[in-house]
Chain A
Amino acid sequence: MDFTLSKEHEMARQLFKDFAEKEVKPLAQEVDETEQFPRVTVDKMAKYGFLGIPVPKEFGGQGCDPLTYAMCVEELSKVCGTTGVIVSAHTSLCCDPIQTYGTPEQKEKYLIPLAKGEKLGAFGLTEPGAGTDAQGQQTKAVLDGDEWILNGSKCFITNGKEADVYVIFAVTGKIEKRGKMLKEISAFIVEKGTPGFTFGTKENKMGIRGSSTYELIFTDCRIPKENLLGQQGKGFNIAMHTLDGGRIGIAAQALGIAEGALETTINYVKERKQFGRSIGAFQNTQFQLADMATKVQAAQLLVYKAAMKKAEYAKNPKISYSVEAAMAKLYAAEVAMEVTTKCVQLHGGYGYIREYDVERMMRDAKITEIYEGTSEVQRMVISSDLLK
C-alpha cells in the first residue's frame, strides 16, 4: 500500500490550488454576501475542463479519474463551498448518470456539451414530501404518443436556475414488489426552456449562498419519448447509484471546507496575541489544532479511498463503492462541522464576524451533513451492509 500521490495527481492538485487561490478565493465573500451565482468562475472552469474531469475524452471530458475530480472539488471548497458544490452537482449528479445510463444519442446530445462546460447540469429528485424517502415522489410522467408529460415539482435543486440540462425523476406507474404496491420511478433528461418547465422560489440559505437553489415546476411539460434515461422503472436504482457517486463529491467538498478553516485558523493563531503571546503558544490551542488536523487527515484518506474505489468500479462494474462513499461523506461532513465550529471558537469574537472566512465556512459546512443523504442515511447505508 502506497500513500504517495502520483505525479499526475500532484500536478492536478497544484493546478486546482492555483486556480482556487487566484480565481475563486477573491470572490468567495462577495458570492456569499450577495448570493450571486459565480458565473464568471463557472465560465473559467469550463474553459479549463473542470466541468468534465472524470468524463472520458470521447465524450468531451478530460478523461481523468475520480480522485482527480475529488481533488478539484476539495481545493475549490477550501476557499469557497459554493463553487465546490456547483462542480460536484454538475459532474456527479448530471454528467455521471447520463454517462452511465444514457443512450449513444443522449451522450452525444447532452453529455458532450456538459463535459465541455458549454452547458451546466442539475439533478432533481427531492420533493417537499420526498427527501430521504424517495418513494414519496409525487411528480408524475405519463407517456402520450411520442412524448412524456411531466407534472409536479422538485425542491432544493442545486444549480437550479443556472443549469441547462436536468436529470429529473418521476413516477411512471405502479409495480408489485413482495406483495406490496410500489411506485415505479423513472429518470428523464429535461432541457431548460421546455414549455411547461418553470422555476419557483429561490431558497434563502444559511450557507453555500451563491449556489442557485430553486424549486422546479413541471406543468404539462412535454419532453420527447427518447429523453427517458435508462430503462423505464429503473429510476430508483439510477438515483441511488448516482447519489453514491455524488457523496464522494460532497465528501470532498466537506473535506475542503474543513481544510480551509484549519489553514485559516493556523495562520490566525500565529498572529493573534493575548496575554503577551500568540494564542498558538497556548496548549489548549495546540491540542485543538492537533485533534483537528488528525481528523481532517482521516477524512481525506476516506474520501480518497472512496474515489479510488469508484475508479475500480469503472473497470469492473461488479464492484460497489456505496459503503466507502457513505463512510467518506458521513465522516468528512461531521469533521467539517466540528472543525469549522472549533475554528470559529479559536477566532473568538472575530470568528463571529462576516469579514472572517471561518464564519462563512461554518455556515457552508452544515449542509454537507444534510444533502445527498443526511448523516443518518449514511449510517443506514453503512449498517445495512454490515448486517446483510
Chain B
Amino acid sequence: MKIIVCIKQVPDTKGGVKFNPDGTLDRGAMLAIMNPDDKAGLEAALRLKDQYGAEVTVLTMGLPKAADVLREAIAMGADKGILVTDRVLGGADTWATSTTIAGAIRNLEYDLIITGRQAIDGDTAQVGPQIAEHLGIPVISYAQAITVDGNKVTVQRQYDDRYHILEAQMPCLITALSELNEPRYMTPGGIFDACAAEITTWGRADLKDVDDSNLGLAGSPTKIAKASDKVRKGAGEKVVPDSPEDAVSYIVGKLQEKHVI
C-alpha cells in the first residue's frame, strides 16, 4: 500500500503571530510546528504501515524551512518527504494550495491520501476535500477511526452528536482529526536518519496538469480585506449575586439590555 500524507508547517501557538503588509502570514518570522490534525493523519498512516506494511510519503507545500516538518515526519517513521516550494506559489489560498498539491500528487502512485481536517492557522478545512475533487477520488472527512481491508477503507466520520461509518474503495482521501490518535514521538536514531535523508524538492515546473491562473496569490480567489492580531478583551465585570434567582434575573436583564433577547 502506498500512502501520501499531506502535512503543513503552521505557526506555533506558543509564539507570536506576524503578518506581511498584504495581510498574509509572515511564516518566515514565526516559530513553527507540524499542524496537529496533520500529525494525527501521519500517525494514522504509520499505524497502517505497522499493521499492514505501507510506504508512507509525506508532502508539504511551503517555504524551504518547511522541510523541517518533513524531517520530523521521517524521524517518526515516514519513508520519504517531498517539499513543493516556489516563489510563484506563495500567498496561495485554499484553492491555489489544493491545485498545487494535486499537481504534485499527480506525479505519484498512491492508494490512500491522508490530510489533516484543517490547519490551526487558516482553520478552513477546505484543502483536503479540494485535493480529492481535483484528483477525482472519493473523500471521507473528519475521520476518528480508520481500518483497511483489501482495497477498501472503513472510516468512522465524526459528527456533533454521533458518528457515521463509511466505506470507500481506494484510491481515496481521508481527512483526519487530532482526536484520531496520540501521535508517536520521534526516535533519536530516526532524527539522525531524517537529517541525512534527501528531501525531494519540486517547483512550479514539476506540477502536472495545472494552469498558472490557479496558482499562488494571483490564482487565489480569496482576497484578504484586513488582518490583525487578536485584541485582548478587558477584564469584564464581576458580579456576586445573593441567590441563583438574582443571578438569573441579572443575566436576563443584561441580555435584554443588549437586545439579545
Cross-chain contact B192 with A63 (CB below 8 angstroms): yes
Residue ID in chain B nearest A69 by CB atoms: B188
How many B residues, CB 8 Å from partner? 14
- A19 within 8 A of partner (CB): yes
Do A53 and B195 contact each other (CB < 8 Å), given the known contacts A11-B71, A11-B72, A11-B75? no
- A376 within 8 A of partner (CB): no
Cross-chain contact A12 with B191 (CB below 8 angstroms): yes
CA distance A8 to B190 in the complex (A): 10
CA distance A53 to B189 in the complex (A): 7
Expressed in whole angstroms, the minimum distance between the Cβ of B209 and any Cβ of chain A is 35
Cross-chain contact B185 with A57 (CB below 8 angstroms): no
Cross-chain contact A57 with B72 (CB below 8 angstroms): no
CA distance A64 to B184 in the complex (A): 20
Expressed in whole angstroms, the minimum distance between the Cβ of A41 and any Cβ of chain B is 13
Complex contacts, A72 vs chain B, CB 8 Å: 188
Complex contacts, B75 vs chain A, CB 8 Å: 11, 15
Contact among A7, A15, A48, A63 for B195, CB-based, below 8 A:
A7
Residue ID in chain B nearest A22 by CB atoms: B185
What does the 1/0 interface line of A66-86 toward B look like (CB < 8 Å)?
001000100000000000000
Q: Is the interface of B mostly helix, strand, loop or mixed?
A: helix
Residue ID in chain A nearest B71 by CB atoms: A11
Cross-chain contact B189 with A11 (CB below 8 angstroms): no
- A62 within 8 A of partner (CB): yes
Cross-chain contact A50 with B188 (CB below 8 angstroms): yes
Complex contacts, B72 vs chain A, CB 8 Å: 11
Expressed in whole angstroms, the minimum distance between the Cβ of B15 and any Cβ of chain A is 14
Cross-chain contact B187 with A11 (CB below 8 angstroms): no
Expressed in whole angstroms, the minimum distance between the Cβ of B167 and any Cβ of chain A is 32
Cross-chain contact A18 with B71 (CB below 8 angstroms): no
Residue ID in chain B nearest A63 by CB atoms: B189
Do A48 and B185 contact each other (CB < 8 Å), given the known contacts A11-B71, A11-B72, A11-B75? yes
Complex contacts, A11 vs chain B, CB 8 Å: 71-72, 75, 186, 191, 194-195
CA distance A262 to B184 in the complex (A): 30
Complex contacts, A57 vs chain B, CB 8 Å: 189
What does the 1/0 interface line of A15-47 toward B look like (CB < 8 Å)?
100110000000000000000000000000000
Q: Which 6 A-B pairs have the closest CB atoms?
A: A62-B189, A49-B187, A62-B188, A8-B195, A11-B191, A64-B188
- Can you add 5 more A-B contacts, CB < 8 Å, to A15-B186, A48-B188? A11-B191, A15-B188, A49-B189, A57-B189, A61-B189
Residues of B within 8 A of A (CB): 71-72, 75, 184-192, 194-195
The contact sample of 18 A-B pairs, CB cut-off 8 A, is: A6-B195, A7-B71, A8-B191, A8-B192, A11-B71, A11-B75, A12-B191, A15-B188, A18-B185, A48-B185, A48-B186, A48-B187, A48-B188, A62-B187, A62-B188, A64-B189, A64-B191, A68-B192
